[in-house]
Amino acid sequence: MPSKMRKPFAPKRASRRPDKYTGHTFLTEKEAADLLRFSSKHLQRMRAEHRGPPFFKEGRAVRYQRSELITWMELRRENGGKP
């Protein structure tokens, strides 16, 4: 008796419209804090004081672009740790 085999999962076909965020990785506050080796609280404080890395905010959701975090870190290193 033949067993029922399910079809393999096939993802939906991607839109052909170009997306300006293709290739960009957005991180949550926790992921960004982990990448920077900061606590989430420290990142929140820096954001409130307008001295942290650039971020996007939609309602309560805060997102950081990974490439911008890396650039921000590199600029701080080049400037001797000063913003």
pLDDT per residue rounded down to tens, the chain (83 residues): 556 666 665 555 555 555 555 567 899 999 999 999 999 999 999 999 999 999 999 999 999 999 999 999 988 875 555 66
Q: Domains of the chain: which residue ranges?
A: 26-78
Stated pTM of the model: 0.65
Angle between helices 40-48 and 29-36 (to 10 degrees): 100
- Between the CA of residue 41 and those of 29, 30, 34, 46, what are the distances in Å? 10, 10, 12, 9
What is the per-residue pLDDT across 51-74, written as a single tens digit (0 to 9) for each? 999 999 999 999 999 999 999 998
- Report the distance separating Cα 26 and Cα 73, nearest Å: 16
